[in-house]
Amino acid sequence: EAQVTQNPRYLITVTGKKLTVTCSQNMNHEYMSWYRQDPGLGLRQIYYSMNVEVTDKGDVPEGYKVSRKEKRNFPLILESPSPNQTSLYFCASSFSRVGTGELFFGEGSRLTVL
């Protein structure tokens, strides 16, 4: 089954404790990206990657890091989480150059930073 898998789905952590949210896709997609969803703000792009070893900032990259060492994986790293990073996070993937805009999303990871 074609899918984008995120882990963990739910996480409560404390300020400053490094964490990683993993994202894996099995569709051989070249394009992957991370979004956060906050009330009243919709989905905002954090980082995206056009291919292995190619990453670029989205609109809200502060406080996040990403890496793309393999085509299928695109982890989101919070080196020192803060309460304002409490959010619902989505990973998404697509064919190269995002075509007509069809993104395939994971089920989301709800992160709470205390």
Partner 1 sequence: DQQVKQNSPSLSVQEGRISILNCDYTNSMFDYFLWYKKYPAEGPTFLISISSIKDKNEDGRFTVFLNKSAKHLSLHIVPSQPGDSAVYFCAGLLYNFNKFYFGSGTKLNVKP
Query: Which residues lie near partner 1 (CB under 8 A)?
Result: 4, 31, 33, 35, 40-45, 48, 50, 56, 58-59, 90, 92, 97-98, 100-108
Q: How far is the CB of 16 from partner 1 (least distance, A)?
A: 29
Residue 19 or 88 with smaller CB distance to partner 1: 88
Cα distance from N-terminal residue to C-terminal residue, the chain: 36
- For 24-42, give one letter per residue: b (16+ CB within 10 A) or e: bbeeebbbbbbbbeeeeee
**Closer Cβ to partner 1, 79 or 107, answer by number:** 107
Is 56 or 79 the residue whose CB approaches partner 1 more closely? Answer: 56
Query: 31-38 and 42-51 as β-strands: parallel, antiparallel, unpaired?
Result: antiparallel
Q: Cβ–Cβ contacts within 10 Å for residue 67, how many? A: 16
CB of 17 to partner 1, least distance (A): 25
